[in-house]
Amino acid sequence: MGVTMYALNFMAVLFAAVIGLAVLVAAVFFVIDRAQTEDAIRRNYPVLGRFRNLFSSLGEFFRQYFFAMDREELPFNRAQREWVKRASHQHGNTVAFGSTRNLNIVGTSLFVNAPFPPIDNQFASSEPKVIGAGARVPFTATSFFNLSGMSYGAISKPAVLALSKGAKRAGIWMNTGEGALSPYHLEGGCDIVFQIGTAKYGVRDEAGSLDEDKLRDIAAHETVRMFEIKLSQGAKPGKGGILPGAKITPEIARIRGIAPGKDSISPNRHEEVDDWDDLLDMIDRVREVTGKPTGIKLVVGSEDGIAGLFEAITQRGPESAPDFITIDGGEGGTGAAPMPLIDLVGMSIREALPLVANMRNAHGLRDRIPLVASGKLVNPGDVAWALATGADFVTSARGFMFALGCIQALKCNRNTCPTGITTHNPRFQAGLVVEDKELRVAAYASEIIKEVETIAHSVGVAEPRLMRRKHVRVVQPDGRTMLMSDLWPQHVAEGAHAARN
């Protein structure tokens, strides 16, 4: 009995102490909140006002798990993420009971199934495609689906390793992003596209100009197959890359050729490129120095804006053209960008791709300039749409991030990514096991390719690049659908190959 009473008394004292401490802390916060002048809610509602910020911060996570429907979230909804997860885990992607997608939303693309599709032995995989046939060292790309640019610095060492090794397994190329070439890109042994951003990381001299000796050194790596001059990217057209100082380690600084620990802001454009003629000069210079195919990446702002490129090529001749054009839609992603640019600037890939494809074909350059489509194309239907519209290749970054385990925590710019993908904190990086994630990267790419081939089979063609705009219908405001070939008639120059509609 004595022991029991002692325990009860102790618990009572402890409870009173906890209550007293809570009251004291609340009193301190009450005084602080009433005295501060920055937050009107906390000043008028001391202590209680603090919960507003807490609940607001947690809201995005509660919505993801409890409140949002499968097709409601942005930038990617649960259905999209779950497809990538099942594909990367090789769990199969069959579903039951019917689609959860609202097929009446204006702009929805629906594929036209053939009444008599080819039987299984009449179906083939996509043929490899040569890029830059006129370069000293052309590149034969084996896959229509590839890995878009993600810089070492924006993403972590284990993330780069898993992506490069997974890309090698899947037989796809990997774009370095503008952050230069790291040993971890090379370690996987995959085909690499080296991106030259406006800061020219990795190939810059002390003044920030293009260093041809460093360019030759990069090109000397056999697995570096192509060079991509980045003019702009979908999430921030008109703004250069942004890498916070907290993410610039000494190693990253050395690879990029910049100072460690300081924010690295790329120029908003290449300073030596004032017009399309200057751009063609730069393309020719890089191609001549490296001997390898050289293309460009850009976001389309208007028809007039991009028309000048094809006019300049026509005046100079097709040999002056970029060896490929990567079109990034305004819905593209990034680790850090001003919200107005993410939300409001740049043409969507859904409009930009058919526009540029028509211009290219009208100038007789369809065989000369392959188009690479990028911008929120993470599921088979997105990729199949792009190929039918006029793309020769499709690249994805965020799809592969989901394959790595990204949970869309929206912390890419804070060095606190909980999955270890976009952080250089060793604690979080430890959660990303390269040997496991490289398998998921390869599985995701393989499943995309397989299911795009399934769509192509359904519409009645032997392989994905044979899909045309006539194989896609688009939902209109009155609820009916129209063939994309009627909405976007394909223009072809005299003497060019047959139209892709």
DSSP 429-473: HTT--HHHHHHHHHHHHHHHHHHHHHHHHHHT-SSGGG--GGGEE
Domain match, 35 and 164 both: no
Q: Do 49 and 126 sit in the same domain of this protein?
A: no
Query: Does residue 62 sit in the same domain as residue 201?
Result: no
Q: Do 474 and 481 touch, CB atoms closer than 8 A?
A: yes
Same domain as 251, residue 175: yes
Please state the φ and ψ torsions of residue 276, each to the nearest 5 degrees: -65, -35
Question: How far, in Å, CA of 45 to CA of 161, rounded?
Answer: 50
Given 67, 86, 101, the domain boundary residue is 67
- Specify the pairing of strand 325-328 against strand 371-374: parallel
Q: What is the DSSP letter of 326?
A: E
Same structural domain for residues 315 and 396? yes
Q: Could you write out the DSSP letters of every residue in 180-246?
A: ---HHHHHT--EEEEEE-TT-TTSB-TTSSB-HHHHHHHHTSTTEEEEEEES--TTSTTS--EE-GG
Q: Is residue 96 assigned to a domain?
A: no
- State whether 61 and 128 are in the same domain: no
What's 479's domain CATH number? 3.20.20.70
> Which residues have C-beta within 8 Å of that of residue 417, sequence separation ≥ 6?
156, 409, 411, 423, 428
Q: Are both 191 and 279 inside the same structural domain?
A: yes
**Is residue 447 assigned to a domain?**
yes
Q: Show pLDDT as tens, one digit a residue, over the chain (501 residues).
A: 556 776 777 787 788 888 888 888 888 888 888 888 877 777 777 887 777 776 666 656 665 655 555 555 667 666 677 777 777 778 777 766 667 777 888 888 999 999 988 887 777 778 899 999 999 999 999 999 999 999 988 888 999 999 999 999 999 999 999 999 999 999 999 999 999 999 999 999 988 899 999 999 999 999 999 999 999 876 666 667 777 777 788 888 898 888 887 777 788 889 999 999 999 999 999 999 999 999 999 999 889 889 999 999 999 999 999 999 999 987 766 655 666 666 667 789 999 999 999 999 999 999 999 999 998 898 999 999 999 999 999 999 888 888 888 877 777 777 778 888 888 888 888 888 899 989 999 999 999 999 999 999 999 999 999 999 999 999 999 999 999 999 999 765 433 444 444
Tokens of 344: 């409001």
Residues 46 and 150 in one domain: no
Question: Who's near 21: CB < 8 A, 6+ residues apart?
Answer: none
Determine what percent of the chain falls in helix, strand and coil, rounding each to the nearest 5: 45, 10, 45
Query: Is 271 inside any structural domain?
Result: yes
81 falls within a domain: no
Tokens read off for 170: 């899947």
Same domain, 281 and 160: yes
- Do 203 and 215 meet the contact criterion of CB atoms below 8 Å apart? yes
Instruction: Please indicate, yes or no, whether residues 325 and 474 belong to a single structural domain of this protein.
Output: yes
Helices (H) and strands (E) in the chain, counts: 17, 15
Phi, psi of 212 (to 5 degrees): -70, -30
Question: Could you tell me if 313 and 360 are in contact, meaning their C-beta atoms sit under 8 angstroms apart?
Answer: no
What is residue 269's predicted lDDT score, i.e. its pLDDT?
A: 87
Q: Does 89 fall in a domain?
A: no
Helix (H, G, I), strand (E, B) or coil at 8: helix
For residues 58 and 124, membership in a common domain is answered with: no
Give dist(CA 466, CA 118) in Å, integer. 13
Give the total number of structural domains in the chain.
2
What pLDDT, on a 0 to 100 scale, did the predictor assign at position 239?
66
Angle between helices 303-316 and 276-290 (to 10 degrees): 60
The verdict on residue 419 lying in a domain is yes
Q: Which residues, 6+ apart, have CB-to-CB distance to 99 below 8 Å?
A: none
48 with 162, same domain: the answer is no
Residues 35, 307: Cα–Cα separation, whole Å? 60
Domain annotation covers residue 11: yes
**What type of residue is 317?**
G
Query: Does 246 fall in a domain?
Result: yes
Q: Which domain holds residue 36?
A: 2-67
Cβ(170)–Cβ(442) under 8 Å? yes
Which residues lie closer than 8 Å to 323 by C-beta, 6 or more apart?
131, 132, 134, 135, 226, 287, 293, 294, 295, 369, 370
Q: Is 146 helix (H, G, I), strand (E, B) or coil?
A: strand
